[in-house]
Structure 1
Amino acid sequence: MDPYIEKKLAGKHITAVVGHFGSGKTEFSVSLAFALAREFPERIALVDLDIANPYFRSRELAQRLRQSGIAVYGSSYGYEITAELPALDPAARAAFENPGFRVIVDVGGDQSGAKILNQYRKYLKDGEYELLCIINKNRPETSTLEGAISHINAIEEQTQLKITGLVSNAHFVTQTRADDVMQGYYFTRELSKTTMIPLASVCAPESLADEVAKQREKGGYMFDIMVLGLYMRPSWLDRKL
């Protein structure tokens, strides 16, 4: 079993995922759901609370997710969830309340979108959840340590929750190279040292995972690789830049 997935199965039962638009947080959330479901079928739930971004919503994969044994919830899936009046289907609440489930929450793309997490504070008790912030150093908002720290602080202020882990996801969509992934690791490692927030994992597309692992071994680095399946790539993104 992949070491990072093994840790996730043994870890907190709720993982909320935040990050700027373009960070790849939904790609991470969906890839994580599929990876966990391969090891723990029928016990994985994906909750879509991203009300701000209609283009990269998890709903695009609702049928495939369900066919893989993943329960999916949110306004994308027929349940009305809005910033003004959030609501969860009773089955979703059951998943939140059952520690035997692994629940992944895909949150809005910035601090204002993340604010919706305030509505679910009763499920996010200290020590019982992970709040992961996806960092793409190639996005203008998080291309510097100062910008990334400002982003983290804004999310924590809006949600009144502490980010518990950083996930490096440096990418140029279909043009990403292994060196880009490693540059993202170096950046997020420094961000981790500065903020004292642990580096949870480093994302790599499936096609680059082996090369990134080789560079990790060559450099003597210690980080877990989260393999991304690139499920959220619409066809227009495959055009040459």
Structure 2
Amino acid sequence: MYNDKRIRIIVGHYGSGKTEFSVNYAIKLVEKGKKVALVDLDVVNLYFRSREKEKNLSESGVRVISSSIKASAVDIPAISAEAYAPLQDKTYETILDLGGDPVGARVLGRYHDILKEEDYDMFYVLNANRPETSTLDKTIGYLNAIEGTGRVKITGIINNTHMLKSTTIDDVLKGQKLAEELSKKLEIPIKYIVALEDIAKKLPKNLEGEIFPIKLYMREDWML
């Protein structure tokens, strides 16, 4: 993960787990002594957004930037101008967590002049258990729509096939098969294979991509 470019854009269908990945990614970078900013650019979905964990993330050392309206009970699709700072400040490792559909990628338009190809990676988070991304054709269509709307190119695939706390090894391997088909078809590398820590330990070591163990920060203990 430390060979990724300084700016990482995380996209994927709603329910793919892109925000959970973004939060885990940010915390892992901080644990390695990096200066990290997580920018919540999700102006589509009202739930399970990284801004909900701002207090916890800040305590961990992650700078969280989201809505310009600082009110926990209000959700207004207004992105703070503060988001420009970590994009331009090269001392930051920056993660952009986008909304979960092509419409969510539209917000990247305002940063188009900043996002130079050599400066960013854009990772497509794939959950093969989502009906909308369960086949190769559906997944390609969704990926192309995000690229077209955001005017940026996806540089890596993340297999995050899960069923939340009920995820099995078979779920992950099912997603890996689809991710490999997608990678071959579009010539985009598989970067990470995401799984809960206990599942990650049991995965085969010869899979394409780096195994990325995660914790469930975005779901409370009482949630399934």
TM-score class, shorter-chain normalisation, is over 0.9
Secondary structure, counterpart of 1:155 in structure 2: helix
Q: CA deviation at 1:124?
A: 0.9
Is 2:106–2:149's contact at 8 Å kept on the other side of the alignment?
A: yes
In the alignment, does 2:95 pair up with 1:95? no
- What residue is the counterpart of 2:212 in the other structure? 226
Q: 1:77 to 1:199 in 2, by over 3 A?
A: farther
Q: Look up the equivalent residue of 2:48 and give its one-letter code.
A: F
Q: TM-score, normalised by structure 1?
A: 0.86
User: What count of residue pairs does the alignment treat as equivalent?
Assistant: 222
Following TM superposition, by how much is the alpha carbon of 1:180 offset from its aligned partner in structure 2, in angstroms? 1.2
192, 209, 212: which one aligns with 2:200? 209
- Counterparts in 2 of 1:111 and 1:86: CA distance versus 1, 3 Å: same
Structure 1 residue 78, shift from structure 2 partner? 2.5
Is the CA contact (8 Å cut-off) linking 2:156 and 2:191 kept in structure 1? Answer: yes
Evaluate the alpha carbon distance shift between residue 109 and residue 227 of structure 1 in structure 2; reply closer, same or farther with a 3 A threshold.
Answer: same
SS of residue in 1 equivalent to 2:99? coil
Partner AA of 1:53 in structure 2? N
Question: What is the TM-score when the length of structure 2 is the normalising length?
Answer: 0.92
Matched AA of 2:127: N
Deviations 1:101-152 (A, max 9, x none): 1000000000001111111112211121011110000001100000000001
Partner of 2:16: 23
CA positional deviation for 1:235: 4.4
The answer for unaligned runs of 5 or more in structure 1 is none
Counterpart in 1 of 2:175?
Answer: 184
Contact 2:10 2:18 in 1 (8 A): yes
Q: Distance in 2 between matches of 1:66 and 1:160?
A: 31
Percent identity for Structure 1 against Structure 2: 40
List runs of 5+ in structure 2 lacking aligned partners.
Answer: none
Aligned residue identity for 1:232: M
Distance 1:193 1:55 in 2: 33
Greater helix percent: which structure? 1
Amino acid at match of 2:92: F
1:46 to 21, 38, 46: 38
- Corresponding residue of 1:146: 137
Find the counterpart in structure 1 of residue 59 from structure 2.
67
Residue 64 of structure 1 aligns to which amino acid in structure 2? N
Distance 2:9 2:124 in 1: 9
Matched, 1:133 2:124: yes
Contact 2:68/2:79, CA 8 A, preserved across alignment:
no
- Name which of 145, 158, 172 aligns with 2:163: 172
Taking the aligned partners of 2:63 and 2:36, their CA distance within structure 1 comes to: 6
